[in-house]
Amino acid sequence: MENTRVQLIRKLKNSGMQNKLVFVFLLASFLGYSQKKDNSKMPKIKPKEVFVAELMSKMTIEEKIYQTVQFTSDGTITGPKSGDNYISRIQQGKVGSVLNATGAKATREIQRINLENSRLKIPLLFGQDVIHGFKTIFPINLGMASSWDPKAVELAARIAATEASAAGVHWTFAPMVDISRDPRWGRVSEGSGEDSFLGIQMAVANVKGFQGDDLSKNNTILACTKHFAAYGAAEAGRDYNTVDMSERVLRETYLPAFKATVDAGVKTFMTSFNEISGVPSTANKFLIRDVLKGEWNFNGLVVTDYTGINEMVAHGFAADDKQAGELAMNAGVDIDMVGGIFMNNLKKSFEEGKVSLEQIDAACKRILDVKYDLGLFEDPYRYCDEKREQATTNKPEFLEASLEVAKKSLVLLKNNNHILPLNTNQKIAFVGPLVSDEFNIIGSWAALGDRNGFATSVKEGVANYLKNTANVTFDQGVEIKSNNRDGIQKALDNAKNADIIVAVMGEGENMSGEAGSQTNIDLPGLQKEFLSELKKLGKPIVLVVLNGRPLTLSWENENMDAILEAWWPGTRGGDAIAQTLFGANNPNGKLSMSFPRNVGQLPIYYNHKNTGRPYLGKSDPEQKYKSRYTDADNSPLYPFGFGLSYTTFEYSNLKLSSDKIKFDEKLKVSIELKNTGNYDGQEVVQLYIRDLVGSVTRPIRELKGFEKIEIKKGETKTVSFEISSEDLKFYNLDMKHTAEVGDFDVFVGGSSDADHQASFQLIK
Ligand code: NOJ
């Protein structure tokens, strides 16, 4: 029998809800945080400072240590775990929080066991990775960042929190704000790409969406900024690998998104697995105590990533587990995620004077504070309501929002001769290993998202859109990654009879994400070979790519007529792709990460330095002894910020309000933008600056502003930005965060290659 969710999604697909209106309604109703808090049944408790202090005065040293212990349930496991049966530990009242326990019923039961056995009845915290949706899955985060639409990202997080909280979850381990410039690293899928400025907007949107405006409401959850820090800079893109970087680069590129979430009120932080310049993050006093808890005044809690404490032995930073625990606690870690080290060693370390009571108290207080903020001392079962869970999961409006966000995340990379949008009267051969896929389409790290039988495949999306599929065929042809050629001939036969071919190809969801690093980021398996067979048919080909990272698509760029980057677009991904291919959605995403021409260019990013021998390209009179490759261009295949539309935009009239500003003044930058094509469309207008001379060298461009606007065909709009000396700050030679007088260039346009340029000076 068809399950109810499948019935629901069928109904939805046929309901023809009007996209834009629905999206605006969703934004208004969810981001207004209109939900009411039901205070009527809550016992009144004392203010936090008093309550927590009184509670701690009754706690033994062991009870304080138990608060720092996190066990994993039997849910998603992403590494070794400490072996113990967590229920029996909870029965002994020895656990402070649980990872991966979800479901209103299950969490209620675990909480009951805990409360009945914990002497002081301290509620457990339940944590779960809710990365790009809980049940209703949104595009992977790299895709959502390509929407350049923080409100859409906030909405996705709000919906994820609403679903997760109804299933007993108090705490998500998101957002991941790691900047990465190397798509060999599989976890680029979980972040917002290569740029700090864009990363900050996405990070803050996530925190707002998850935590809302009041954590004690039963539909808001703790966010957790991770992985602190610089995990995305792993050498050679190999997961968990070493990071070595200057403090300047760390502060300027890798830390700003972390800091922005602290300013936005994030309540928890997670350390990263990597070492930075010889010191593992899990025991990095500089990062945790000095920067995070000191300079930034973060008053929430810090959890390790998984067995991060234990791993310091393998790093060669601690002689044994006990010492590793001491190093972590002394550096400012508050919770040991599943490692069992605080549980097994901290008391002894305390007795030996290696860890002070003050430090254990500080960790315990931060944990209890967060439990208080969630309202768990008032009602430990507030998140465990089965009726709410049933009523809240996969609601029609959530699924509709997942479609709308997916449509904002798709990026059109090529569209020769306006071959897209497709014409419904054409005979179309849909081919490729992902054409009917309902599994991979929701992407990696969609831990509890429903896949087969629930998510929409491209095939289903096309059928939903066309209603009549007499003119279209669907053939897989090849598998994602295998040597099986059996399906190729039939696919070619169908393609032969078509007017146009749409190839839906890409990665398997498990090829990116954690532990998904790769040295080869071409289309895997026989997919490219299959494309070249299709090419021989002489028909136009549209390539739709589903993937968790930028791929190397140089050959495809040469040989395909159109390319649509779809990432892993989530539960309604197939509908989003179909509606875009047929023109019901005009693509409006822009890349959140550069696409390399080949892996030899990695790492690659738009805001690099100029070098002493910059290469000016093919027209450079000097081709030798320049900072260049001799066998490939320096430029990426598709730059950061790039993305086409079915319409065209013409930029003109870039104006600055002055050619000089003082430190306390603002510069207004404006530009006109005309929709010169045949469709209404949306454009992300981007503003970059270049600081020409500094006490330390500056990048050739830095994103400092963007605005996504809608423009009807034929219409012209003016977009304005403001720049002040705040935007021009960097870590100077003395590591002072300041702006320096001098000349600046401004560039405005539709990508990081923006070519409308003006100049101004910053003066005293
Ligand atoms: C390891 C991952 O690195 C981290 O991002 C995740 O939150 C934890 N496992 C818990 O699942």
Residue length, the chain? Answer: 764
- Residue 412 to residue 414: CA distance in whole angstroms: 6
The residue whose C-alpha atom lies closest to atom 7 belonging to ligand 1 is: 173
Q: Quickly state the pLDDT bin for 84 (edges 50, 70, 90).
A: low
Query: What average pLDDT does this structure show over 69-94?
Result: 73
Q: Quickly state the pLDDT bin for 17 (edges 50, 70, 90).
A: very low
CA distances from 96 to 89, 343, 377, 387 (A): 10, 10, 13, 26
Q: Give me ligand 1 centre to Cα 236, in Å.
A: 21
SS3 545: strand
Q: 78: Cβ below 6 Å to ligand 1?
A: yes
Asked if residue 327 has pLDDT above 60, the reply is yes
What residues act catalytically?
Answer: 305
Asked if residue 37 has pLDDT above 80, the reply is no
Q: Give me ligand 1 centre to Cα 663, in Å.
A: 43
Asked if residue 12 has pLDDT above 80, the reply is no
More confident call, 2 vs 566: 566
Q: 173: Cβ below 6 Å to ligand 1?
A: yes
Q: Give me ligand 1 centre to Cα 515, in Å.
A: 11
More confident call, 551 vs 78: 551
Q: 514: Cβ below 6 Å to ligand 1?
A: yes
Backbone angles phi, psi at 519, to 5 degrees: -90, -20
To 5 degrees, how large is the angle CA 158–CA 444–CA 212? 10
User: Given this model, what pLDDT does residue 91 score?
Assistant: 87
pTM of the model: 0.95
691 CB neighbour count, 10 Å cutoff? 19
Q: 226: Cβ below 6 Å to ligand 1?
A: yes
Q: Which atom of ligand 1 is nearest to the CA of 190?
A: 5
Which of 97, 272, 306 is the pocket-test mutation for ligand 1 (most atoms within 8 Å of CB)?
Answer: 306
User: Given this model, what pLDDT does residue 93 score?
Assistant: 85
Residue pair 242/275 in contact (Cβ under 8 Å)? The answer is yes
Q: Give me ligand 1 centre to Cα 306, in Å.
A: 6
- Residue 415 to residue 557: CA distance in whole angstroms: 10
pLDDT per residue as tens digits for the range 178-188: 999 999 999 99
Which of 126, 228, 305, 336 is the pocket-test mutation for ligand 1 (most atoms within 8 Å of CB)?
Answer: 305
User: Given this model, what pLDDT does residue 14 score?
Assistant: 45
Q: Quickly state the pLDDT bin for 5 (edges 50, 70, 90).
A: very low
Structure tokens at 66: 């138990």
Backbone angles phi, psi at 417, to 5 degrees: 50, 30
Q: Which atom of ligand 1 is nearest to the CA of 173?
A: 7
The residue whose C-alpha atom lies closest to atom 2 belonging to ligand 1 is: 305
Query: What average pLDDT does this structure show over 406-424?
Result: 98
Q: Give me ligand 1 centre to Cα 513, in Å.
A: 11
Crossing angle, helix 256-263 and helix 196-211, to 10 degrees? 30
What residue type is assigned to position 327 of the chain? L
Structure tokens at 163: 């679903």
382-407 as b/e: b if 16+ CB within 10 A? bbbbeebbeebbbbebbbbbbbbbbb
Asked if residue 739 has pLDDT above 90, the reply is yes
pLDDT per residue as tens digits for the range 658-706: 999 999 999 999 999 999 999 999 999 999 999 999 999 999 999 999 9
- Residue 420 to residue 38: CA distance in whole angstroms: 51
Backbone angles phi, psi at 19, to 5 degrees: -45, -60
Asked if residue 10 has pLDDT above 70, the reply is no
Q: Please report how many Cα atoms fall inside a 13 Å half-sphere around the Cα of residue 532, on the Cβ side.
A: 6
14-36 as b/e: b if 16+ CB within 10 A? eeebeeeebbeebbeebbeeebe
| Positive/negative CA dihedral, 592, 596, 600, 605 | negative
pLDDT per residue as tens digits for the range 529-571: 999 999 999 999 999 999 999 999 999 999 999 999 999 999 9
pLDDT per residue as tens digits for the range 286-316: 999 999 999 999 999 999 999 999 999 999 9
Q: Give me ligand 1 centre to Cα 516, in Å.
A: 14
The residue whose C-alpha atom lies closest to atom 3 belonging to ligand 1 is: 305
Q: Give me ligand 1 centre to Cα 647, in Å.
A: 41
Q: Give me ligand 1 centre to Cα 78, in Å.
A: 7
Q: Which of 441, 721, 708, 756 is closest to 587 using CA atoms?
A: 708
Average pLDDT over all residues of the chain? 94
Share of the chain above pLDDT 70, in %: 93
User: Given this model, what pLDDT does residue 21 score?
Assistant: 52
User: Given this model, what pLDDT does residue 25 score?
Assistant: 57
Q: 398: Cβ below 6 Å to ligand 1?
A: no
CA distances from 649 to 362, 374, 644, 679, 683 (A): 56, 48, 10, 11, 8
Residue pair 459/575 in contact (Cβ under 8 Å)? The answer is no
Q: Quickly state the pLDDT bin for 89 (edges 50, 70, 90).
A: confident
User: Given this model, what pLDDT does residue 27 score?
Assistant: 62
CA distances from 511 to 349, 420, 458, 595 (A): 41, 29, 20, 17
pLDDT per residue as tens digits for the range 450-500: 898 899 999 999 999 999 999 999 999 999 999 999 999 999 999 999 999
Q: Quickly state the pLDDT bin for 237 (edges 50, 70, 90).
A: very high
Q: Which atom of ligand 1 is nearest to the CA of 227?
A: 5
pLDDT per residue as tens digits for the range 106-116: 999 999 999 99
User: Given this model, what pLDDT does residue 489 score?
Assistant: 97
Q: 311: Cβ below 6 Å to ligand 1?
A: no
User: Given this model, what pLDDT does residue 23 score?
Assistant: 60
Q: Give me ligand 1 centre to Cα 514, in Å.
A: 8
Q: 298: Cβ below 6 Å to ligand 1?
A: no
Q: 81: Cβ below 6 Å to ligand 1?
A: no
Q: Which atom of ligand 1 is nearest to the CA of 273?
A: 3
Which of 129, 178, 228, 337 is the pocket-test mutation for ligand 1 (most atoms within 8 Å of CB)?
Answer: 129
Structure tokens at 275: 């070492």
User: Given this model, what pLDDT does residue 118 score?
Assistant: 83
Name, in order, each residue with C-beta under 8 angstroms of 60's C-beta and a sequence gap of 6 or more.
Answer: none
| 631 CB burial (10 A radius; 0-12, 13-18, 19+) | exposed
Which of 82, 173, 302 is the pocket-test mutation for ligand 1 (most atoms within 8 Å of CB)?
Answer: 173
Q: 306: Cβ below 6 Å to ligand 1?
A: yes
Q: Which atom of ligand 1 is nearest to the CA of 76?
A: 11
Q: Quickly state the pLDDT bin for 591 (edges 50, 70, 90).
A: very high
Q: 369: Cβ below 6 Å to ligand 1?
A: no
What residue type is assigned to position 360 of the chain? I
User: Given this model, what pLDDT does residue 481 score?
Assistant: 97
pLDDT per residue as tens digits for the range 148-193: 999 999 999 999 999 999 999 999 999 999 999 999 999 999 999 9
